[in-house]
Structure 1
Amino acid sequence: MSAREDHPVLLPGRVGGLRTANRLAVAPMTRVSAEPDGTPTPDMAAYYAEFARGGFGLVITEGIYTDAAYSQGYLNQPGLVSGRHAEAWRDVVQGVHDAGAVFVAQLMHAGALSQGNRYRSSTIGPSAVRPRGVQMPEYGGEGPWPVPGEMGPADIEEAVAGFVASAVNARDAGFDGVEVHAANGYLLDQFLTDYTNLRRDEYGGPVAHRVRLTAQVVEAIRAEVGPDFCVGVRLSQTKVNDFEYRWPGGVHDGEVIFAALADAGATYLHLASEGRNWLDTALLDGGLTITGLARRVTGLPVIANGGMHDAGLSGQVLRDGHADLVSVARGALVNPDLPRRLAEGRELEDFDRTLLEPTVTLENVRRRRAVDAPV
């Protein structure tokens, strides 16, 4: 790989009022390495700071649970619920800022896809529909998902209040913004998805109603944190438990969803590609891409995700106007210095699938490779 100082991902970026050193972001990746009560650890601080030192302009946390009720999805998932949580996050934020990156907290309610919650033994969702697939063993689950309880008005109010309170905690801990997790099959995406949302009230039926809860969350956060704090939204068609799902209305659904979130006060949209390359999920009818459609409808910055460690693909996405930034997940795990490698023309390390295990660190892999290396 030759030096690539002119690659578009290395140009300065902008997300609302935030300026980033480049257009490369670290995508959220669940690592379940917090203390049992959800408090971030020094190891987590080192983990996030390494991406910032490696040159990523934007770092987005793993999904952080938002209330002491039904939001937690995994044991040892970090939270932003208590004062102890927020205080520990301050140290994590400081390390990322000291290394020069913008840091955003992703706020997540697992809904029916919760498989480890220290506060509750049952789950809730938009409707009493068993999720597709089975629980993920790498995160401590096994067997079919339980059937969730259908959320009533009080449950919805509690979920919205949790998002708002955790956003305020994130701001007070020093984060530059928050990202509302409405992707990958979790609660807000369950409301967006036609087969998990069978409601007949104002949150069910046509897509304009199914997106209402996500828009309500964004609007409520915006009202509390003010006009200048960054409030992004992550969306996807595919899910951790359903790689094949696509919005049934295609372009029309995208237009309705994107417009609703822009109107609610979103700063940016982050379009994820769970389990797929961007090229596999981005194309819509008429030659449009989902990220390009989001840019056209809203005028907001859009982050594209899915195989973006590939310099050719990320360059195409940015040069052709499909997105404003790109986010990297697996490629960042094994190459936390990916931006520097790209700028200097150095090859990327080969991906090691063991890194997908949430408790495995890059240091573990380095040590194993050193032991296995020929002498």
Structure 2
Amino acid sequence: MTDLWTPISLGGITLKNRLAMAPMTRSRAGVDGTPSPLAARYYAQRAGLGLLISEGTQPSAEGQGYIFTPGLITAAQVAGWRAITAAVKAEGAAFFIQLMHVGRMSHPANVGGAQALAPSAIAPAEQMFTATGMQPIPVPREMTEADIARTIADFRASAARAIEAGADGVEIHGANGYLIQQFLAPNANLRRDGWGGSLENRARFALEVTRAVAAEIGAERTALRLSPGATLGGLDEGAEGPALYRHLVAELDRLGLAYLHLMHLGNEALLAEIRALWRGALVLNRPGRPREAIGQDVASGLAEIESYGQFVLANPDFVERLQTGAPMTPPDRSTYFGGDARGYTDYPRLVPQG
């Protein structure tokens, strides 16, 4: 029987186990989007897992939403990521950088006064943290055809920079209420052109971004994260949601991607349908999954890899704790976003490192 400790190949990369670190925004980059020098230590500490997926990283200045998030736009940012990938590879883990364009989930105060871009000019009715506190998110600007083409090109160029920085691949963020999922959701996408209306048109942006990245760096280095049914950022995929994801996954399956990463929110019937449609490696994330359920999806064959967030954030030696049955350290939520080493690189290990 396959278990978490059975190695697996993703394209030309062999993972030492079937555990992945889920992408988690930590807001510790410099004001210019260059990853913090502490980030290399943070990721390397957690390289006992087979695959590490980075925090969301903007592929363009207009793709940024939150303060102090990293980018992959400038030479300085590439150099910052290169230090991270080298540290992770020295510990024997694979590393994918997640590319995240937030779309309407932004505020001008965080991006030099720029208005956010989105499929349609509809605000999410939510607030955004800024340097002066929480502020209502304003109405974004509806993307033109030129904006869409430029954004797809930005993803492609940023993916090339990720490989230049030493990453094994790129995970495109198509989940959690950000730009790609905004195109999927009919309450955020009111377009009447070829990017809106029918479910095929609403899935088009996700597919075009994925195809562009795969053409640039190879399908075997390209992955996509989805969160079917997620309502983050005020999205509602409506009654057509399951049909949209069946169409999208069937089209993605033709591309030969490294993996599909699903944030699963409880629709077991849809998960089974996606599993039947997707013939490649499936990375499955179940938010709030209890410790005693770790490994069940790999053992059953439902997923090839399981991803974890908060467990890994608070336990740099997550793998050793699983293997020995040691208790897990609870995370300190007050240090999730921003700050320094506290709550970032100072979580205790079973055996302190020298």
Pair 1:302-2:291 in alignment = no
Q: What per-residue deviation string (whole Å, max 9, x for no partner) do you get for residues 54-76 of structure 1?
A: x11100000111013x1111221
Q: What per-residue deviation string (whole Å, max 9, x for no partner) do you get for residues 165-211 of structure 1?
A: 00000011110000001111111110011100000111101221111
Shift of 1:340: 1.1
Pair 1:312-2:292 in alignment = yes
- In structure 1, runs of 5+ residues without a counterpart are 1-5, 273-277, 368-375
Query: 8 Å contact 1:35–1:76 — kept in the other structure?
Result: yes
Between 173-182 and 35-44, report the one with greater CA deviation. Answer: 35-44
Query: 8 Å contact 1:215–1:264 — kept in the other structure?
Result: no
Query: 8 Å contact 1:289–1:322 — kept in the other structure?
Result: no
Shift of 1:308: 6.6
| Secondary structure of the structure 1 residue equivalent to 2:128 | coil
Instruction: Give the aligned partner of residue 266 of structure 2.
Output: 282
1:15 maps to which of 10, 13, 17: 10
Question: Cα distance 1:227–1:132, how it changes in 2: closer, same or farther (>3 A)?
Answer: same
1:362 maps to which of 333, 343, 350: 343
Query: 8 Å contact 1:218–1:265 — kept in the other structure?
Result: no
Pair 1:164-2:156 in alignment = yes
1:252 maps to which of 243, 248, 259: 243
Question: Cα distance 1:92–1:345, how it changes in 2: closer, same or farther (>3 A)?
Answer: same
1:26 maps to which of 5, 21, 45: 21
Instruction: Give the aligned partner of residue 131 of structure 1.
Output: 124
Shift of 1:241: 2.8
Q: Distance in 1 between matches of 2:345 and 2:40?
A: 17
Question: Cα distance 1:315–1:364, how it changes in 2: closer, same or farther (>3 A)?
Answer: closer
Q: What per-residue deviation string (whole Å, max 9, x for no partner) do you get for residues 329-368 of structure 1?
A: 111111121111111221212343324344364368759x
Question: Cα distance 1:67–1:350, how it changes in 2: closer, same or farther (>3 A)?
Answer: closer
Pair 1:40-2:35 in alignment = yes
1:109 maps to which of 101, 108, 121: 101
Instruction: Give the aligned partner of residue 216 of structure 1.
Output: 208
1:235 maps to which of 226, 234, 244: 226
CA-based RMSD of the aligned residues comes to 2.4
| Secondary structure of the structure 2 residue equivalent to 1:266 | coil
The 4+ residue runs of structure 1 with deviation greater than 4 A are: 244-247, 363-367
| Secondary structure of the structure 2 residue equivalent to 1:282 | coil
Q: Distance in 2 between matches of 1:140 and 1:335?
A: 32
Instruction: Give the aligned partner of residue 314 of structure 2.
Output: 334
Query: 8 Å contact 1:218–1:266 — kept in the other structure?
Result: no
Q: What per-residue deviation string (whole Å, max 9, x for no partner) do you get for residues 229-255 of structure 1?
A: x1000111314334x845532542221
2:257 maps to which of 263, 266, 280: 266
Pair 1:63-2:56 in alignment = yes
| Secondary structure of the structure 2 residue equivalent to 1:232 | strand
Instruction: Give the aligned partner of residue 352 of structure 2.
Output: none
| Secondary structure of the structure 1 residue equivalent to 2:162 | helix
**Residue type at the aligned position of 2:248:** I
Query: 8 Å contact 1:28–1:60 — kept in the other structure?
Result: yes
| Secondary structure of the structure 1 residue equivalent to 2:54 | strand
Q: TM-score when scaled to structure 2? A: 0.90
